[in-house]
Amino acid sequence: MKMYFFKKQQRDYLFFTIALLIFTSLIALPTFANASANSTASIYERYDLSNLLSGWEQINPKSALPTELIPANANERLIAKKITVKKGDTLYGVLKKAGVPLKQQRQIVATTLKQKAFRFDVGLTMTLTLRTTPKSKKKELVLLSVQQNKNRRFALRMQPNGTYKPAVERTQYKGKLQYVVGVIKKSFVKDAQYFGLPASLASQAHKLLAERKKLTKKDIVKKDFEVIYEVYPKASGIAPRIQYVRLGKRTSSLQLYFFERGSGGSYYDANGNTIVKKGKIELVKNARMSSKFGYRIHPILKRRILHAGMDYAAPRGTPIHAAADGKVDFIGRKGGYGNQVSLRHNKSTQTSYSHMRKFKKGLKRGSRVKAGDIIGYVGTTGRSTGPHLHFEVRKMAKQLIR
Q: In CATH, what is the architecture of 176-268?
A: Roll (3.10)
- Which strand (E) or helix (H) includes residue 268? strand 264-268
Residue 94, burial from CB neighbour count under 10 angstroms (0-12, 13-18, 19+): buried
**Whole-number pLDDT of residue 377:** 96
Q: Residue 274 has what DSSP assignment?
A: B
What is the CATH class of 66-170?
alpha beta
Q: How far apart are CA 223 and CA 30, in angstroms?
A: 29
**Whole-number pLDDT of residue 9:** 53
**Whole-number pLDDT of residue 264:** 56
**Whole-number pLDDT of residue 55:** 32
* pLDDT one-digit tens code per residue, 173-224: 778 888 888 888 888 889 899 889 999 899 988 888 887 777 777 778 888 8
**Backbone CA torsion sign across 23, 26, 30, 31:** positive
Regions of the chain short of the pLDDT cut 50: 1-8, 20, 23-72, 74, 262-263, 276-279, 397-402
Q: How far apart are CA 228 and CA 199, in angstroms?
A: 14
Q: Helix 102-112 to helix 91-98 angle, to the nearest 10 degrees?
A: 140
CATH code given to domain 288-400: 2.70.70.10
**Whole-number pLDDT of residue 328:** 93
What residue ranges in 55-124 does DSSP mark as E strands?
Answer: 77-84
**Whole-number pLDDT of residue 306:** 63
**Whole-number pLDDT of residue 153:** 83
**Whole-number pLDDT of residue 4:** 46
Q: How far apart are CA 121 and CA 129, in angstroms?
A: 20
**Whole-number pLDDT of residue 297:** 64
Q: How far apart are CA 340 and CA 345, in angstroms?
A: 16
Would 66-170 and 176-268 be classified into the same CATH topology?
Answer: yes
**Whole-number pLDDT of residue 364:** 92
The DSSP-derived string for 338-397 is -EEEEEE-SSSEEEEEEEEEEEPTT--TT-EE-TT-EEEEEB--SS-SSSEEEEEEEETT
**Whole-number pLDDT of residue 244:** 87
Domain boundaries, the chain: 66-170, 176-268, 288-400
* pLDDT one-digit tens code per residue, 278-331: 445 678 888 888 776 666 666 666 666 666 678 888 999 999 999 888 899 999
Q: Are 360 and 396 in contact (CB under 8 A)?
A: no
